[in-house]
Chain A
Amino acid sequence: MLKQPTPETAPLVRKRVSDPLPVQILLIGLMLLFFIGFIFLPLGLVFAQAFQKGWSVYLESITESYALEAVKLTLTTVAIVVPLNAFFGVTAAWAITKFNFAGKAALKTLLDLPFAVSPVIAGLIFVLLVGSRTPFGSWLGEHGIKIIFSTPGIVIATLFVTFPFVVRELIPLMEAQGRDEEEAALTLGARGWQIVGKITLPNISWGLLYGMILCGARSIGEFGAVSVVSGHIRGQTNTVPLHVEILYSEYNFAASFAVASILVFLALLTVALKVSMEKKFQKNSSHH
């Protein structure tokens, strides 16, 4: 039972206006239930399944050549996609926040398109655009360039899906910072590249890094769009998520979950990085 508030403690209790205790318990309970049901339990299951047949099977599954190839392909994709999207993101955010031009509002809305479209559709768009049955695709094929069912297709699909992360991080930041510092540098005699290098990039560095981490996380985990353009060729066009799916559909559960645990590790690493970034980011942005 709750203690009745005594006259001495009553003012303390009443100091803060808060929801009644049952409501608090209910909400916290619901949240805990959600966390257990949707995060802790599945994560635990992944590891339980992965180690179902013991350490040796686990190690074998993740060091087997197809698995290693998949990891390699995923990391290659991330290594290409993140820098490119960082570059595109900075460029787009720059154009949107520093210049005025017709269609700016429309462009700003379109930036979110990759989030709004289902990844499978995104993949299909590229198949329809550069697949071997299209004129452009067959022209490319004649010149020995293969996009669909090969690494370039996977990279392009991932680029599309993860494009908004950096730019969406930067636009509000750059809007808040305005153009004053760049203009000040301009009147002090700085050239364009000096302004970018000494003023703009340092000012957005934390936001940029943060956006890149999110972009990287999504690149690692992207399934839908990549699945459509990949062709699932083992050892060649299989990324880690695709490899997990193949193993699973072959009823090779232990191996499947073992490889999945790599993704879980990468995800946890990303979250950890993100949290430490957020702390630094806040500390730095309070500095003005």
Chain B
Amino acid sequence: MGIELKNITKKFGGYTAIDDISLNVASGELVALLGPSGCGKTTLLRIIAGLELPDGGKIILEDKDTTNLPPREKNVGFVFQHYALFRRMTVFENVAFGLKVLPRKARPSGTEIRDRVEHLLKMVQMEWALKRYPSQLSGGQRQRIALARALAVNPKVLLLDEPFSALDAKVRQELRRWVRKLHDDIHVTSIFVTHDQEEALELADRIVVINKGRIEQQGTPQEVYDHPANAFVYNFLGNVNVFHGRVHNGKVTLGSHRVDAPDEFKNTEEKASQAFVRPHEIGISRIRSSEADLEGTIQEVRLMGGQIGLNLECEGFEHPIEAEIPRDLYINLQLSRGDKVFVSLNRVKVFTGDYAI
């Protein structure tokens, strides 16, 4: 097992940042800790690295209990959100740092260090920057150097704290594909923290959704996205329309309408429920396709790249319903503001209980 966390708890004053989290990460796995800001994901990462001490629980890295070891002895690579490159050192000195501070006995020779640094810089495609200072590099380049620096000491585990969040959208996407490829090549056990669900879905082997210091759900991106365990996870993994209503005997109320609820609610007694529909799962048509279709008026049209966003005013609904349709469909249907359309909500996800969002 790469990383085993057992019942980790951490409090700051009266505030519980981590509330009894246990988590296993297999060797060579790339796991995303996904959650809103302040949910404790960064604290958990810092605890694994030894930058914070947990109040309770155990951290086992490669079958060795490292709970009370200082960061120096944990052999963990850490990549910071704002790179944290040493500003007074060149790129070469930055990457070589972890090797140069080794005790004399364990320290490689000067030429070995040089070879290793050059190899790492080639791997992150930055070999040309050997003599540059961090201030002379762009954000994406700095983060690559930070990655090379963390990998220089051959860490057992690589931890990345919101590694892409300080970059522009374009660079962010490029770099995260590149990191995925790098991980496929070197297979170091890795955990990265993010609040961006897209990033987690695209990059990770497994996603761990965290909220208020607890794990809400974990699984492959597919599992978590298609079968969210609760309303929080569903809501956090993408845009949603939320309808507060009641579920009863296989029917759920949406506004003043009643539609079929998913099978598991066939024989339930009446209870309060929240129904969710993702904007891109809403069907839009010029002709009525079923009895359950709603009638709506297009209130607003938004250009969103490949998709078109529509705000629909539907009778019996307090708030407009948001829908996203492919551009082709939008053009074929010749839609424009003020048009009447039929709206089908056929993939409703229903959660009961008083889950607050």
A residues with CB within 8 A of B: 180-181, 183-191, 194, 198-199, 202-203, 286-288
Contact = CB atoms under 8 A, between A and B. Distances in A.
Contacts of A198: 86, 97, 101
Contacts of B71: 183, 186-187
A187 B101 contact: no
Nearest to B72: A189
B80 A184 contact: yes
A285 to B, nearest CB: 9
B105 to A, nearest CB: 14
- Most A CB contacts (10 A, CB to CB) among B74, B101, B102 go to B101
Contacts of B146: 184
A203 B87 contact: yes
Contact of B149 (A188, A190, A199): A188
Given A185-B86, A190-B101, A287-B133, 7 more contacts: A181-B87, A183-B51, A183-B78, A184-B149, A187-B72, A187-B76, A189-B101
Contacts of A186: 51, 70-72
- Most B CB contacts (10 A, CB to CB) among A183, A194, A202, A286 go to A183
Interface in B139-198: 146, 149-150, 152-153
Contact of B72 (A180, A191, A199): A191
Contacts of B50: 187
Contact of B84 (A181, A191, A194, A202): A181
B77 interface: yes
29 contacts: A180-B80, A181-B85, A181-B86, A184-B78, A184-B84, A184-B85, A184-B86, A184-B146, A185-B101, A186-B71, A187-B49, A187-B51, A187-B72, A187-B78, A188-B101, A188-B153, A189-B75, A189-B102, A189-B153, A190-B72, A190-B97, A190-B101, A191-B72, A198-B101, A202-B88, A203-B87, A286-B135, A287-B133, A287-B135
Contacts of B85: 181, 184
Interface in B9-60: 49-51
B87 A183 contact: no
A195 to B, nearest CB: 9
A180 B88 contact: no
Contacts of B248: none
Contacts of A288: 87, 134-135
Contacts, number: 69
A283 to B, nearest CB: 11
B98 interface: yes
B153 A203 contact: no
A187 B85 CA distance: 13
A194 B101 contact: yes
Contact of B101 (A181, A183, A191): A191
B82 interface: yes
B45 to A, nearest CB: 11
Contacts of A180: 80, 82, 84
A31 B133 CA distance: 42
Contacts of A188: 97-98, 101, 149-150, 152-153
Contacts of A184: 78, 80, 84-86, 146, 149
A184 B51 CA distance: 10
B80 A183 contact: yes
A115 B118 CA distance: 52
Contacts of B87: 181, 203, 287-288
Nearest to A190: B101
Contacts of A194: 101
Contacts of A185: 86, 97, 101
Nearest to A287: B135
Nearest to B78: A187
B143 to A, nearest CB: 13
Contacts of A203: 87-88
Contacts of B134: 288
Contacts of B51: 183, 186-187
A183 B152 CA distance: 16
Contact of A187 (B77, B82, B135): B77
A186 B84 CA distance: 12
B81 to A, nearest CB: 9
Contacts of B84: 180-181, 183-184
A198 to B, nearest CB: 8
A198 B101 CA distance: 10
A186 to B, nearest CB: 5
Nearest to A189: B72
Contacts of B88: 202-203
A178 to B, nearest CB: 8
B104 to A, nearest CB: 13
A187 B78 CA distance: 7
Contacts of A286: 135
Contacts of A181: 84-87
A199 B88 CA distance: 8
Nearest to B102: A189
Contacts of A183: 51, 71, 78, 80, 84
A150 to B, nearest CB: 42
B86 A189 contact: no
- Most B CB contacts (10 A, CB to CB) among A187, A190, A194 go to A187
A280 B134 CA distance: 18
A188 B97 CA distance: 7
